Structure 1
Amino acid sequence: MNTTIMLFLLQDGITNGAIYALLGLALVLVFAVTRVILIPQGEFVTYGALTYATLSSGQVPGTARLAVAMGIVAFGLDLFAGRRSLHVWLVGRAFAVNILLPATILALTYTLAGRQHPIALNIALSLLIVAAIGLFLYRIAFQPIAHTSVLVLLIASVGCHLALQGFGLVFFGAEGQRGPALSNAVFTVDPLRFTGQSIAVYAITLALIAGLWLFFGFTLTGKALRATAVNRLGARLVGIRTALSGQIAFLLASVIGAISGILIVPITTLYYDTGFLIGLKGFVAAIIGGLVSYPLTAAAALLVGGVEAFSSFYASNFKEVIVFTLILPVLLLRSLAAPAVEEEKD
């Protein structure tokens, strides 16, 4: 290996690591607030990427109809949960969030289908669709069992992953898709070649990390999420709505996943099940970070991206094995260092 090849591999590792960092941060956020190990994070990546590609081709993505269907189910759950004290304003709020919002998104999607639009409009519409799916996913699958054990939540998460992956096959088919690049600019620095898309990956990743830091550090909602992550019972005692905190966490995770997919789909062809493997690599970074540390997760994601890039050069057939092996020494060290304790109950 010469210096030029090493620089190319480092560039690929940083690009991939930036994506894994976003997914790892989303996983840490959701687990800290809700105790859910979000296996469907990869589906948010796939849905965001393929929804964007479908909109760019002038078609209506099936995810828009899925959001409406999930909203109807969530509306029914809201009515059932509040059946003893239904008020007009409660029903109206539930109808606006669960029915009117996804229906408006679907109507907007049909209105814009078949026409040429700026890339920014397709991105915004894709984010709205996936954000609605993430919000309703928590309301339907996790909020009713929020106080159960981590194992039960994990089983529900696996079930959601399988269901969303099946829907992805129905909506997008088995053929892969690619979307238009955010920028067609190209420039070189000595041997390295940078595209506008790769620069967008770096810039958006840094912007999201900075935005999350500001959100959690300086906003009331962010501080409420942090309080819920530290102590759910204490947060409820001081008046924080932990159910709303879970919805916000899933909303943020779905948006981050969709942005990650939109950043990836112009670079490589994505299939309905590609996001699962990408999400697992973000999960490796989150595990190395202990599912609690955002800076350590981001650093671990860069490590995962670098190991993947160099493994693809030296042993491409075992690239995935090498990447996932990184988790073994971390789990071993944590199991030896952590004392055996019973799971806390709210």
Structure 2
Amino acid sequence: MDLQIALLLGQDGIVNGAIYGLMALALVLVFFVTRVIFIPQGEFVAFGALTMAMMQGGRIPGTLWLLVGLAAVVLVVEAVRYQRGNPVNWPATVVWCLVLPAIAAALILGLRPTSLGMQALTTLILITPMGPLLYRLAYRPLADATVLMLLIVSVALHGVLVGLGLLFFGAEGQRTPPFSEARFDLGGIPLSGQSLVVLGVTLALVMLLFLFFGRSMVGKALRATALNRVGARLMGIPTELSGDVSFALAALIGAVSGLLIAPLTTVYYDTGFLIGLKGFVAAIVGGLGSYPMALLGALIVGQLEAFASFWASAYKEVLVFTLIVPVLWWRSLNSRHVEDEE
């Protein structure tokens, strides 16, 4: 391996690490607020990429009917909860179940966007509401369950969404045109415009998330819910709405990630699982509790994958997932175990 090859691999590792970083941020966000290890995070990536590809092919994406179906079921569930005397946040319910699905249907069925920018915006509007709708159906009834029970639900939901992905998109992979066709030469190292788009969007999203959690009232409410759910509820923070917002952000981040990687690689209905799993490894390397450390873990995973693909391409996935073993071993040695009181 010479210096040029090392630089090329390093560049690939940074680009891949940026995507894994977005996945890790979404996983840490959801886990912080709801204690859910959200295994289906990668499905938002695949749904976003394949929805964009179907629109570019002049077809109506099946995710539109999935969104409409989820919205209808959630409306029925909320109506039943209201009849039983449980409080229902109707403004948020109207937004997730009626407003955003109606906008997505109007854009896809009526406007039929042809420009790349409008197709990307339509994809984001279509995928984002799926997060809070899935949260209300699968996780909110189990808000007080153990982390293990929530993990089991996540695995089951992952299987359901992968099956729906196969139904809606088929087994064939899809790619989309890049957002930038530019080509650059940096010291003899070729650099594509799409790679710069990936890095730029990732940095912009990271900065917006930091500002959101540090400056906005909603972000501070999410942080309060993450630190002490009961205390936040006593202070008047609607913790159920916090779950909606965290899952909506996770779905948005997943859809953006799908749009970014679709021009770089062929995306299949089950591609999101590996991407989400690598994001999970990055989050574990970062401690599953710190956004900056999650980003650092994502860069480590990206670099390890890139150089492993050169030295041992057949085992690159094994090497990436094996990284979690020494990390967990090291953390177990440095953690303080507290026995539960009887």
Fold match by TM threshold 0.5: yes
Q: Distance in 1 between matches of 2:35 and 2:89?
A: 28
Cα 1:57–1:240 change in 2 (3 A) is same
Q: Distance in 1 between matches of 2:89 and 2:45?
A: 33
Q: Give a deviation string over 1:37-79, Cα, whole Å, max 9, x none.
A: 0000010110111111111211110001100100011111111
Q: Distance in 2 between matches of 1:97 and 1:2?
A: 53
Cα 1:343–1:61 change in 2 (3 A) is farther
Number of residue pairs the alignment of both structures matches: 341
Cα 1:196–1:150 change in 2 (3 A) is same
Determine whether 1:124 maps to 2:121: yes
Cα 1:52–1:15 change in 2 (3 A) is same
Q: Distance in 2 between matches of 1:270 and 1:342?
A: 46
Give the secondary structure class of the aligned counterpart of 1:142: helix
Moved more, 95-104 or 157-166: 95-104
Give the secondary structure class of the aligned counterpart of 2:129: helix
Cα 1:150–1:195 change in 2 (3 A) is same
Tell me the equivalent position of 2:13: 13
Q: Distance in 2 between matches of 1:230 and 1:217?
A: 14
TM score, norm. by length of structure 2: 0.96
Partner of residue 278 from structure 1, selected from 275, 278, 288 = 275
Q: Distance in 1 between matches of 2:188 and 2:66?
A: 46
Q: Distance in 2 between matches of 1:208 and 1:59?
A: 30
| C-alpha displacement of 1:209 | 0.5
Give the secondary structure class of the aligned counterpart of 2:191: strand
Tell me the equivalent position of 1:76: 76
| C-alpha displacement of 1:147 | 1.1
Determine whether 1:183 maps to 2:180: yes
Q: Is the 8 A contact 1:56 1:180 kept in 2?
A: no
Q: Distance in 2 between matches of 1:304 and 1:31?
A: 20
The correspondence of residues 36-75 of structure 1 with structure 2, limited to 5 A, is: 36-75=36-75
Q: Is the 8 A contact 1:65 1:106 kept in 2?
A: no
| C-alpha displacement of 1:196 | 1.3
- Give the ranges of 4+ consecutive aligned residues of structure 1 lying more than 6 Å apart after TM superposition: none
What is the aligned-residue identity percentage? Answer: 53
Tell me the equivalent position of 1:227: 224
Amino acid at match of 1:331: L
Q: Give a deviation string over 1:192-247, Cα, whole Å, max 9, x none.
A: 11111100001000000000000000000000000011111111110111110011
Amino acid at match of 1:98: C
Cα 1:76–1:222 change in 2 (3 A) is same
Tell me the equivalent position of 1:308: 305
Determine whether 1:173 maps to 2:150: no
The correspondence of residues 1-346 of structure 1 with structure 2, limited to 5 A, is: 1-85=1-85, 94-95=93-94, 97-113=96-112, 117-341=114-338
TM score, norm. by length of structure 1: 0.95
| C-alpha displacement of 1:337 | 2.2
Show structure 1 runs of 5+ residues with no match.
none
Q: Is the 8 A contact 2:100 2:125 kept in 1?
A: no
Cα 1:270–1:32 change in 2 (3 A) is same
Q: Is the 8 A contact 1:79 1:91 kept in 2?
A: no
Cα 1:160–1:2 change in 2 (3 A) is same
Cα 1:77–1:341 change in 2 (3 A) is farther
Q: Give a deviation string over 1:75-116, Cα, whole Å, max 9, x none.
A: 1111111114599x9667645541343133223211234xx6
